[in-house]
Amino acid sequence: MALLDVSIVNVAIPSMRAGLHTSAGTIQWVVSGYALAFGLTLVAGGRLGDAYGRRRLMLIGLTCFIVASAAVGLAPNAALVILARLLQGASAGLLTPQNSGLIQQLFRGRERGRAFGIFGLTVSVSSAIGPVLGGLIIALAGEDDGWRWLFLVNVPIGLAAMVAVMAMVPRRPPSTEKTDNRIDVPGALLLGATVLCLLYPVVRLEGGHRLPLLLLVGVPVFGWGFVAWERRTARHGHPPLLDLALLRSLPGYVNGLAVGALYFTGFTGVLLVTSLYLQEGMGLSPLQAGLMLMPFAAGSAVSAPLAGRVVADLGRRLTVAALATMITGVVLVAVLAPGHDPLWPWLAPTLLVAGLGAGAVVSPNMTLTLADVPPRMGGAAGGALQTGQRIGASIGAAVLVTVYQVVVADSSPDAAMRAALLTGAALVSLALLMAIQALRQARTLQSLEDAAR
């Protein structure tokens, strides 16, 4: 539900603009504001779950998400819609990291890989089918107020999820040891400022605004301040927001973080640009465009759970093979699909190949990246991993849409789609390079362990 609300809104922008009688720039904040608040609260939400219990944070996050969703759907004007979307994004940031934290806490070995396989299936499919569901809801509810039901439908789903959490998620066991559960507020503010200085210019760039790019100067400044503060906090024996020294000592964590961020940079933009091309270049409706993207979702649905089952045996080799498969599929889409009518005989099989690769990236990467993270840090470490994914998704969407718009202004939609998708393939190739480096690192460590034995 939280991830669907990232992509499902894209198809509703025209009807929202008409229904609220406002500008395209204002409506863009309905999309961007959610992503911004989501990315800002992920690590803090994970740390709160580590400290006070994941069940409690899931219920708090779900409650806030349901209230915010109802507020968006019932809001009488654009200002209240944007405000409620910011609250909705922050609620999603509290809720989402509890999933990876629970998997860290409840599962070990092969079972953990299977659990992350289901989690990866949810991530891949929810990102891919958002436009389909959005188009379907608007088609059923009507153009005028159909967009409101994109948010109101979260209310019954969220209430059902709350019942499931209360029934199925275990309570936090009572601790006999005295633990320091203080939250590192200065660290959270410094990390939030770092993410804000990176994400805000990106989301504003999608609307054509260049001045916010000056905020990028704050990224290294606040980032250095965050690292220095976390080190100071750990030296004084207080719980840091994110134990950087411990995470840095874990094999593959930093590489896995980079793989996830770079993968989402290419993955998100590829789907968005393909949807733009189908609607603007080919004249398809939002629902038709979403249905054309279904082979990607189908491929992900097949490969994600299978990848979770074999990741314990294949390790980083699986991530490398999956990324290579996805890149091959995206390049085939870019080379073969544009310019054909009918389009689906060329688009469907190539998107299926890309989806098969994509579905086998997320869950193995999360499994391997978080494999040695202690359960007490599972929420914060998983939140950091997902923050990288959210940042990558925002940057990728801005970069690829910009490439598409620049090329289509001077050439044709076919050429614009081809250029944007090849750019996306190049970005995913960076993730492949990081995965290869992680594979080499894992083999080196294994060789040292074998020699020591």
Span 181-211, pLDDT tens digits: 677 788 888 888 888 888 778 766 666 667 7
Amino acid letter at 241? L
Statement: residue 63 has pLDDT above 90: yes
pLDDT at position 167, please?
93
Cβ within 8 Å of residue 198, ≥6 positions away: 216, 219, 391
Task: Calculate the average pLDDT of the chain.
Answer: 82
The tokens of 237 are what? 């024996």
Lowest-confidence segment of 13-17, 115-119, 255-259, 330-334 by average pLDDT = 13-17
- Looking at per-residue pLDDT, the higher value among 70 and 235 belongs to 70
pLDDT at position 205, please?
67
CA 207/CA 426 separation, integer angstroms: 24
Burial class (CB in 10 A: 0-12, 13-18, 19+), 444: exposed
Query: What sign has the CA pseudo-torsion 253, 257, 259, 260?
Result: positive
- Looking at per-residue pLDDT, the higher value among 169 and 172 belongs to 169
- The mean per-residue pLDDT over the stretch 99-113 comes to 83
pLDDT at position 160, please?
95
- Looking at per-residue pLDDT, the higher value among 180 and 422 belongs to 422
Span 71-90, pLDDT tens digits: 999 988 888 988 999 899 89
- The mean per-residue pLDDT over the stretch 388-412 comes to 81
Statement: residue 25 has pLDDT above 70: no
pLDDT at position 181, please?
64
Q: How many CA atoms lie within 13 A of 405 on its CB side?
A: 12
Percent of the chain with pLDDT over 90: 16
Instruction: Give the three-class secondary structure for 293.
Output: coil
Statement: residue 328 has pLDDT above 60: yes
- The mean per-residue pLDDT over the stretch 8-22 comes to 76
Q: Please, what are the domains in the chain?
A: 4-168+241-452 (1.20.1250.20)
Percent of the chain with pLDDT over 70: 94
pLDDT band, very low/low/confident/very high, at 41 (cuts 50, 70, 90): confident
Span 255-311, pLDDT tens digits: 888 888 889 888 878 888 888 788 778 887 777 777 888 888 888 888 888 888 888
The tokens of 371 are what? 């494999």
Torsion of CA 3, 69, 401, 383, to 10 degrees: -40
CA 281/CA 198 separation, integer angstroms: 31
